[in-house]
Amino acid sequence: MKKNKFLRISKYKKLRYIANNYKKNLYIVFLPGFASDIDGDKPKKFLNFSIKNKLGFLALEYFGHGRSSGEFTKGNITKWSNDAKNAIHRIVKKNDFIPFKNKKTFFAMTAHIIFKKIDPQNTVTHSKKMISLIRKNIGFKNILISDDLSMKSLKNSISQNTIRAFNAGCNLVLHCNANLKEMEIVGKNSPIINKFIIKKTSQFNKIIS
C-alpha cells in the first residue's frame, strides 16, 4: 500500500487519503462505507489494479473516520459528502479533461452550455475562458467549430452570435437552419479564412481523399 497522505481542509481538519497520481489516464475514486477506513482489502485491490493498468486512483477517509481528524459522532452525511467533493476537486480536478487530451482529431465543437464555476456569463461558444482552457489545458490545437448558431439556446441576434463566437476563439461557425437571410448575415460577420484553417482542412482532405 502506498504511503498515506493527509489533505488539509482547514486549520483543524485534515483527511487521510491514498492516491496514485497518473495524469495521462482516467481516475478510479474509492469511497469507503461509513464508519470504515482505507486499510481494508478493497482499496488495496483497487489501488493495485490502478497501478497495473496505469490509472489514477484516490481513496479517502471522511471526517471522523480512520486516521482523519474529528470524531465520528460529530459528523453527518453532509459533512462526509463535502469531504468527498473536496478531495476529488483538489486531487482529481487536474484530470477532469483527460478523455479529451492528446486526441488526433482535426475538428472539435463547442457546446452552448455554461460552466458556472469557470464562466458563469457565457456559453462555451462565446467564452474566451473556456476556449482558452480547451486550447491550453486540454491541448487541442486544431480547428474549433461552434455548435449551430441558429439554436435558441443562444439569446443574441445571429450577427452578434457570429461575432462573439469568433471573438471568443472559434475558428469556424456552424449554421444549420437553411435560412438564407441568416446565412448571409453569418457570412458578412465572419472573417476571411486564414492560413491556419487552410492548412488544417488540407491535412484532413488528404486523409479522406
Domains annotated on the chain, with CATH:
5-96 (3.40.50.1820), 100-208 (no CATH)
Q: What is the pLDDT along the chain (209 residues), one digit of tens a residue?
A: 556 688 888 878 888 888 887 665 677 888 888 788 888 888 888 888 888 888 888 888 888 888 888 888 888 888 888 888 888 877 776 555 665 666 678 899 999 999 888 899 999 999 999 999 899 878 888 999 999 999 888 889 999 999 999 999 999 999 999 999 999 999 999 999 999 999 998 988 887 76
For 84-106, b/e burial (b = at least 16 CB within 10 A) is eeebbeebbeebeebeeeeeeee
Cβ(189)–Cβ(164) under 8 Å? no
Cβ(119)–Cβ(130) under 8 Å? yes
pLDDT of residue 192: 93
pLDDT of residue 163: 97
3-state secondary structure of 59: strand
Residue 146 and residue 134: Cα distance in Å, rounded?
13
pLDDT of residue 145: 95
pLDDT of residue 80: 85
pLDDT of residue 98: 60
pLDDT of residue 2: 53
Angle at 86 between CA 117 and CA 131, to 5 degrees: 30
13-20: strand order across its sheet = 5-10, 13-20, 56-60, 27-30
